[in-house]
Chains A and B, each alone.
Chain A
Amino acid sequence: MSVNYGSKRITTGARYGLRDWLAQRITAALMAAFTLLVLVQFIFTSGPVGYEQWAGIFAAQWMKFLTFVTILSLLYHAWIGIRDIWMDYIKPLGLRLFLHVASLIWLIGCAGWAVQALWRL
């Protein structure tokens, strides 16, 4: 860890520690608030929750807006967390870079799918 510049620069590090630390917490707070919002609507539905009630929670435009923000928050939050895991346990640079790229593909693909499901509603 002594030399981290020039040809010795670790290209698969975090680089922006504080920004990611803060982003991790802000996205967490957004997702926690969204969880409570869905939970409250779920609990205050009268009668048994069938398809109409469940899909109805996400059908309103303002809920789609917030769900979309939550999906993007999840994408960023999970990226920071998973990248931390790879940086802690995987030392060989090539393998770490591969896992970073694989995680990004996994996360971006999942986010696209979630947005597609949301916007079809």
Chain B
Amino acid sequence: MRYADGWDVYAWHGTQVPSWVITGPDVHRIAQEANVEVRRCAIERIGWASYIEQAGLRLIAAAPDPGNPGSELRLYDMRKETKVLLAVNGSVERDGHRRRYGLTVPGFLNDPLDAAGWTYGLSAEQYSLLVRRT
């Protein structure tokens, strides 16, 4: 948003961010950014799947997503003490595709089902009971 006097403000889903997050997010600036919330907004702006590809994150493991037929949970190494779980939305977008999104998880997790369970406070065994995701 920019006012006539040149004063402007940038925000991503309600979070105020530096202008580069909106106008030119890239993996190098994200790597240098100290603020974790700003990093997350910049990655979301690029899109998690594109960011993982551009940043060359290492895939640790992948597994079918229970309750989400045909979709995989993919766990990547991200940075010290943090991994990212790339998941597929249970609902279709208006254009018919399913959005992929990343969830950051603690670095001690090495199994995609453990990681998905952790995001809901569940074990891998409990998360495996998931019948349906929308």
Q: Is B one of A's binding partners?
A: no
